[in-house]
Chain A
């Protein structure tokens, strides 16, 4: 057995059934070893697509996603996907071929120091120097990727090591992972005290909740305490979108009710969140009257940006369980519900053109609860967050921390590979789709029934909106009016496509998205001038939201 064969056996031992990648010189021994293995390899058409497909698998299953690429350009093409996994804490193992060790450091053909390049964006990384280290490295890489706060791990694998004869054999996969520790009893007691004293508490819950397997614990906590909840982008769905006490997303494109309640609260129960600037607005003025109970598995997040009055480090499930007691906060809850009623979105489209928020709202009503939505980045992403109601966070895949255009289509591929029978929809924009459009070929090749819903506003809409609002409407390089004919593009890849431009065509489009058995590309033309509202402008606090101008004043 050579090193490459040993690596593949170790992956099998870790339970890996599928990987996404792209071959090349330095990783050829691994591709040779994949032949006849129990692992299915999906060939994407760009390494970035492989990294995001592996992420789609990981985000929708909670298991480690695996991607691979050759040395040099193959490895650098993975970098964006690795960074994205790092910022959103996604368990990923990236395997890169490397030039043979005697050539390393000589500027050899396709040599790049991917170990060095990726240092700031990985949880950990390895350079395999001894063939018999492979079992221990692979085993540790998988443990690290999912243990505690998940993240990406890189394994750089020189070609001579992959061809060397190996004596070692794969290690057994670890049995059940140990649960993280329970927060300290004194801290929990202090947190209970703060809860009892609070008159106006709010739950501010994020991506750490699903990652900790704490969705049910959070739902129980809210059910018993009856504290109103706001979510970050990554937390959406932890409390179902249609739950009475869910006030919406907070932050830059949050709801009026969510931001108002947070600004007025006297206790913030922060669960699996990191006080990201998109959520907090001007940090110094965020929830100015609130004490903070902060629960997180990563001690480095506690008091990183906002001093916690009580820091609960460790298992969120246990922490929530220990704090699940009834509270008397009726007046505050009623006040929040009033804010919620006051701020409901209006879906009455003013024109005959397609109004993306309404289409997404209607899609959420029509789609089954286990439909997966994979977003790209821009206005359409925020419209999904605002107007699509999620039943569970695993159903919403979105690049939050890095905000990577091009994430959605390959992520949808990874989700569909993991859930062949599920409806998987990539909601994209005309800018984003072009970042990884080549992956339509992957959909075709593997006959994946992925759906694309493309909102075409002939613009880099989110940037155009900012130029309109904050740069005196001076448009700079945001015009995409020379877009290709997307329907023809999709059809050239062998994907059936439809074009819709009128509001009365959306019902049928939604029906097709939910029920077509095969792949489908819906090209929806929308108004270039549509903006995402409401909005917290830069350097403002979340109480200073801008709202959609009344129609008479609108341009």
Chain B
């Protein structure tokens, strides 16, 4: 079951590690990942698709709790709980 997130990160040291750390610790596997410094240099734009048996909505909330995460959107999700 895969879920696709669009995340905006502050451009500070450790922001990407925090994001990836939460994904791993909370039991998800990364299927695809791209992180680009946005045009203004003001942050990172991360597109990440993960798979895992746990609730994608809970992962979204865990990510949103990170101070360096400015916004997180769950773009698509194949889990029943997302319906």
Map CB proximity to A onto B1-27 as digits: 1 under 8 Å, 0 otherwise.
000000000000110011001000100
Map CB proximity to B onto A290-307 as digits: 1 under 8 Å, 0 otherwise.
000000001110111001
A123 within 8 A of B: yes
In the assembly, what is the distance between CA of A127 and CA of B64, in Å? 21
In the assembly, what is the distance between CA of A50 and CA of B67, in Å? 26
The minimal Cβ–Cβ distance linking B57 to chain A, given in whole angstroms, is 7
In the assembly, what is the distance between CA of A74 and CA of B65, in Å? 29
List the A residue with the shortest CB-CB distance to B13: A127
B34 within 8 A of A: no
**Which residues of A have CB within 8 Å of B18?**
119
In the assembly, what is the distance between CA of A144 and CA of B68, in Å? 12
In the assembly, what is the distance between CA of A307 and CA of B25, in Å? 21
**Residues from 29 to 51 in B contacting A, C-beta threshold 8 Å:** none
Asked if B58 contacts A304 (CB within 8 A), the reply is yes
Asked if A303 contacts B55 (CB within 8 A), the reply is yes
In the assembly, what is the distance between CA of A119 and CA of B66, in Å? 11
**Which residues of B have CB within 8 Å of A458?**
none
Interface size of B by Cβ–Cβ distance < 8 Å? 16
B70 within 8 A of A: no
The minimal Cβ–Cβ distance linking B16 to chain A, given in whole angstroms, is 11
In the assembly, what is the distance between CA of A127 and CA of B55, in Å? 33
A466 within 8 A of B: no
Asked if A300 contacts B67 (CB within 8 A), the reply is no
List the B residue with the shortest CB-CB distance to A140: B67
Partner pick for B65 among A298, A302, A303, A307, CB 8 A cutoff: A298
Asked if A123 contacts B17 (CB within 8 A), the reply is no
Asked if A120 contacts B21 (CB within 8 A), the reply is yes
In the assembly, what is the distance between CA of A300 and CA of B64, in Å? 9
**Which residues of A have CB within 8 Å of B21?**
119-120
**Residues from 91 to 137 in A contacting B, C-beta threshold 8 Å:** 115-116, 119-120, 123-125, 127
The minimal Cβ–Cβ distance linking B53 to chain A, given in whole angstroms, is 13
Given contacts A144-B67, A304-B55, A119 and B17 within 8 Å (CB-CB):
yes
Asked if B17 contacts A300 (CB within 8 A), the reply is no
Given contacts A300-B61, A300-B62, A303-B58, A115 and B67 within 8 Å (CB-CB):
no
The minimal Cβ–Cβ distance linking A154 to chain B, given in whole angstroms, is 11
Interface size of A by Cβ–Cβ distance < 8 Å? 16
The A-B contact count (CB < 8 A) is: 35
**Which residues of B have CB within 8 Å of A127?**
13-14
**Which residues of A have CB within 8 Å of B14?**
115-116, 119, 125, 127
In the assembly, what is the distance between CA of A298 and CA of B66, in Å? 12
Map CB proximity to A onto B55-82 as digits: 1 under 8 Å, 0 otherwise.
1011001101101100000000000010
**Which residues of B have CB within 8 Å of A115?**
13-14
List the B residue with the shortest CB-CB distance to A302: B61
The minimal Cβ–Cβ distance linking A205 to chain B, given in whole angstroms, is 22
Asked if A303 contacts B17 (CB within 8 A), the reply is no
**Which residues of B have CB within 8 Å of A302?**
61
List the A residue with the shortest CB-CB distance to B59: A300
Partner pick for B57 among A116, A120, A124, A303, CB 8 A cutoff: A303
The minimal Cβ–Cβ distance linking A305 to chain B, given in whole angstroms, is 9
Interface centre among A120, A300, A303 (most CB of B within 10 A): A300
List the A residue with the shortest CB-CB distance to B67: A124
List the B residue with the shortest CB-CB distance to A299: B61
Asked if A299 contacts B64 (CB within 8 A), the reply is yes
In the assembly, what is the distance between CA of A499 and CA of B68, in Å? 54
Asked if A123 contacts B67 (CB within 8 A), the reply is yes
In the assembly, what is the distance between CA of A299 and CA of B57, in Å? 10
In the assembly, what is the distance between CA of A304 and CA of B57, in Å? 9
In the assembly, what is the distance between CA of A343 and CA of B67, in Å? 47
Given contacts A119-B14, A125-B14, A300 and B65 within 8 Å (CB-CB):
yes
**Which residues of B have CB within 8 Å of A123?**
67
**Which residues of B have CB within 8 Å of A300?**
58, 61-62, 64-65
**Which residues of B have CB within 8 Å of A125?**
14
Asked if A120 contacts B25 (CB within 8 A), the reply is yes
The minimal Cβ–Cβ distance linking B9 to chain A, given in whole angstroms, is 13
**Which residues of A have CB within 8 Å of B67?**
123-124, 144
In the assembly, what is the distance between CA of A402 and CA of B65, in Å? 21
In the assembly, what is the distance between CA of A302 and CA of B68, in Å? 22
The minimal Cβ–Cβ distance linking B75 to chain A, given in whole angstroms, is 19
The minimal Cβ–Cβ distance linking A173 to chain B, given in whole angstroms, is 20
Q: Pick the 4 closest A-B CB pairs, nearest first.
A: A300-B61, A124-B67, A299-B61, A300-B62
13 contacts between A and B (CB under 8 A): A115-B13, A116-B17, A119-B18, A119-B21, A120-B21, A124-B68, A127-B13, A127-B14, A144-B67, A299-B65, A300-B62, A300-B64, A300-B65
New contact pairs (10) apart from A144-B67, A304-B58, CB-CB < 8 Å:
A115-B13, A119-B14, A119-B18, A119-B21, A124-B68, A127-B14, A299-B65, A300-B58, A300-B62, A304-B55
